[in-house]
Structure 1
Amino acid sequence: MKNLAIISAVLLTFLIVGCNDRPDPELGHNEESTNAEKMDGEEDPHGEEGGREEEGVVEISRQQAETIGLETKPLETRNLGNNIKVTGRLELFPQDRANISPFVGGNVRSIKVIEGDKVQQGEVLAYLEHPDIISIQQEFQEKNDELVFLKQDFERKQTLYDKGVSSGKEFQMAQSKFRSTTSSVNGLKSKLQLLGINTSKVEEGQIYSAVPITSPISGFVDEVMVSLRDYVAPQTKMFGVSDNSELHLDLKVYEKDIPKVQIGQKIIFTVASKPDELLTAEVHSIGKTFEEDPKALHVHAHIDNKNGDLLPGMYAEGRIVQGEKSGFAVPEEAIVKEGEQSYIFIVDEDENPEENRMKYKRIPVSTGVNDLGFVEINLPTGVAENLKIVTNGAYTLSSEMVKGELGHDH
């Protein structure tokens, strides 16, 4: 009986297992086949409809690129190295800036320039008129005519004196009057020349009713301080003219860096109006007096400003170059970091996406010197060097690549 019970239990177990393995007649398949069919019929979330991303590649439309402000530039080589950080301003030497005032008072009859105009040395900026200007010319003419008579009288009495006919007193009086009138005429002539009046024409009888106000240097008009019919007193500023081609860089070098600075060193700097452009200068003089707060010396550097697009007063941030290192460099905004790894995005020109669509590939790089907003990079082996990099919008590409959303049309 005991053995019979054991055999019955074993048979019951096999029956239960067999029933569970049998397909449900209502469903037509078991759970395992259901899962398999579900996997076969499930759509790939990264299929054609859901986006076109490959690993490390983002494809977007040109319109999307414009929306995110995406910019690309060819990979460039730059000189970066161990440099002394400095700040300062663009300045003009005193001889390259002119404050223009009249020598005599007068009313403004006409103004020939406006702010921003380029002028040459000697060019007329305005005309002043006043009765006193006419009086000076009249006095010059009268004294000049008188001088002709006094000269003749002096020469005649000198001849008589030499022959012993005339007294010494008469000769000396004629001589004194001739010399004093000559001095007056020369003084008036010099004054008229300072006023810009043609004295030869005045000697011939011509009278000018107005005097020109001219520029003593070539440059740009940066101030116009008068209006028509204004009365301008002597030595009152009317115009400011600056020769911006002679701009120099005035930098502060802190005490610890002074021994490292030498005349002739190259300076690389940027200004706010051209943040992506590296400008160059050269140290031409080093100050000898400390500023106390902060303790620093002034270093002056010559720059090339032939285009005139740099202006006095602009703030500058730069580096005095000690040792240069040439290599590939990209703007800081082009670098995307994930953990310890740095990446850049490049235009994927090996692929041919649809019209009005662009592909960008993310590649890993190692970084080096970081200076003046640029980062030195080393490309992976096998990556071509004549490539275009994404300089603006790299972080947007990176985040959207992770989301897998840029391939969708909303």
Structure 2
Amino acid sequence: MKKKNYIIISIAVIIVSLIGLRVYNKIKDSQITVVETNLITVEGEAVRKGTVNDYAVLTGTITAEQTVSIIPTVPAIVRKINVEVGDEVKQGELLFQLETEDIQNQVTQANAGLEQAQLGVLNAQEAAKQAQTGYDMAKANYDLNFEKYEFSRENLAKYDELYKEGIISEAEYKQTKLQASESTLEILNKQLQQAEQSKNQANLGIENAKAMVKQAQAGYNTASGTLEDTSYTAPINGYVSSINVVESMFASNAQPAMVINYIDKVTVNVDITENMVNKLVKGQEVEVVINSLGDKVFKGTLKTISPAADARTLLYSITVEVDNKNHEIKPGMFANVKLRTEEKKDALYVKGEAVFFQEGKNFIFVEKENNAIERRELEVGIDNGEYIEILKGLTGGEIYIYKGVGFLDEDSLITMVRGDQ
């Protein structure tokens, strides 16, 4: 009986021992789990040093770098159109042609007018030649009769005595007296003046005739130029963006018949405030994001900066140029332009998600020994949405936390995963 009781007691001790050992192991495992659970896994990296940029993102509309409107010089019927909207054309390629019959008639009429004016010059020159001959004869007559006038005046007294003495006849005496009179001189002067006026008028007729030739020549040139302008070619390489004429219909010169866009380069026009205008530099590189192309990023160049604000909006206009050799960017698309407005070199900076705001101040968590962390107060500078410049609070040798920040406080213990290694 005693032996049986001993065996039962021994078995009971063994069972209790086993149960106790199992409970101890569970307690031990539970304690380890608790310890491991209290270590919060975070991600961090070393404080960076380098260049930090501040940016502004503005929205604008894409336009072709060059747009050319083709306007007919004269109204006419469209004979043939050789392109369609969207076609790529090369400089000098034929776009459309106008009917030439009416314009050819204008050229013929203008040529006839020119020939008539040229004939008028010949007639005027002949008239001037005749007028010159008349003047020469009048001058010779004047010179001859002026000599007689002077001779008669000088010898009138002698002829008077000869007449009284009966040596010369009364007719000779009267002729000499007439030749010596002032009326004779007046007549000679008037005859010469009339001949000179005729000559001058004839020379003026030549000038007038030549002016008529110039006018007729201008009319002919205009008509001929118009005839040449019945065929219109592409003035630049580009794409046909609009066609406003129809074959066999009238083409007006009041609106463009076609519009050609050169899009090997495109531009984005945006407006900026007075706080930004002096922070930009002409020629600086710019990022351009086209949303309709899957947020694709293109490199652009700041081409122009307006020196004066718009009087209505008080904003300054800038133009960004973007290479578009493959023509995937189309005029009219919306673009986001990322402009660098500030740059700091040799600056300490951290990821923006690492900095949090509490009690009206900026803070960051920094790794310490034995899985501990420290909350550091910061003074920050540039914040571009991705990185934040640190002015005070970090020295550059720290490892800071940027993922898991929302789960931490100053008493937290962490397991650090380095994102920069």
If the length of structure 1 is used for normalisation, what is the TM-score? 0.52
Quick one: which of 301, 313, 333 aligns to 2:332? 313
Name the structure 2 match of 1:89: 61
Deviations 1:18-57 (A, max 9, x none): 59999xxxxxxxxxxxxxxxxxxxxxxxxxxxxxxxxxxx
Quick one: which of 246, 253, 260 aligns to 1:234? 253
Determine the C-alpha separation between the residues in 1 that align with 2:204 and 2:312. 66
Deviations 1:255-313 (A, max 9, x none): 432332232332121213262333221243235124766x6321123333444443322
Change (3 A) 1:276 1:219: closer
CA shift at 1:87, angstroms? Answer: 2.2
Quick one: which of 232, 246, 251 aligns to 1:213? 232
SS in 2 for 1:135: helix
Which is further off, 104-113 or 232-241?
232-241
SS in 2 for 1:303: strand
Determine the C-alpha separation between the residues in 2 that align with 1:121 and 1:233. 23
Alignment-mate amino acid for residue 304 of structure 1: D
Map of 1:48-87 to 2, 5 A cutoff? 81-87=53-59
**Larger RCO, structure (CA 8 Å, separation 6 or more):** 2
Alignment-mate amino acid for residue 313 of structure 1: G
Map of 1:155-166 to 2, 5 A cutoff? 155-164=125-134
SS in 2 for 1:318: strand
Higher Cα radius of gyration: 2
Name structure 2 gaps, 5 residues minimum: 16-50, 136-197, 346-383, 388-417
SS in 2 for 1:156: helix
Quick one: which of 15, 20, 24 aligns to 2:8? 15
Percent identity, please: 17
Name the structure 2 match of 1:38: none
Determine the C-alpha separation between the residues in 2 that align with 1:138 and 1:186. 14
CA shift at 1:223, angstroms? Answer: 0.9
Change (3 A) 1:324 1:231: farther
Quick one: which of 101, 116, 121 aligns to 2:71? 101
Change (3 A) 1:135 1:85: same
Is the helix fraction higher in 1 or 2?
Answer: 2
SS in 2 for 1:220: strand
Which is further off, 156-165 or 126-135?
156-165
Change (3 A) 1:146 1:176: same
The yes-or-no answer on 1:288 pairing with 2:308 is: yes
The yes-or-no answer on 1:182 pairing with 2:202 is: no
Name the structure 1 match of 2:108: 138
The yes-or-no answer on 1:257 pairing with 2:276 is: yes
SS in 2 for 1:247: strand
| Deviation >6 Å, runs of 4+ | 19-22
Determine the C-alpha separation between the residues in 2 that align with 1:156 and 1:234. 45
If the length of structure 2 is used for normalisation, what is the TM-score? 0.51
The yes-or-no answer on 1:299 pairing with 2:318 is: yes
SS in 1 for 2:86: coil
Determine the C-alpha separation between the residues in 2 that align with 1:120 and 1:161. 62
Determine the C-alpha separation between the residues in 2 that align with 1:323 and 1:162. 88
Determine the C-alpha separation between the residues in 2 that align with 1:156 and 1:191. 30
Determine the C-alpha separation between the residues in 1 that align with 2:285 and 2:309. 22
Determine the C-alpha separation between the residues in 2 that align with 1:246 and 1:221. 16
Map of 1:243-392 to 2, 5 A cutoff? 243-272=262-291, 273=293, 275-290=295-310, 296-321=315-340, 322-323=342-343, 370=386, 380-381=420-421
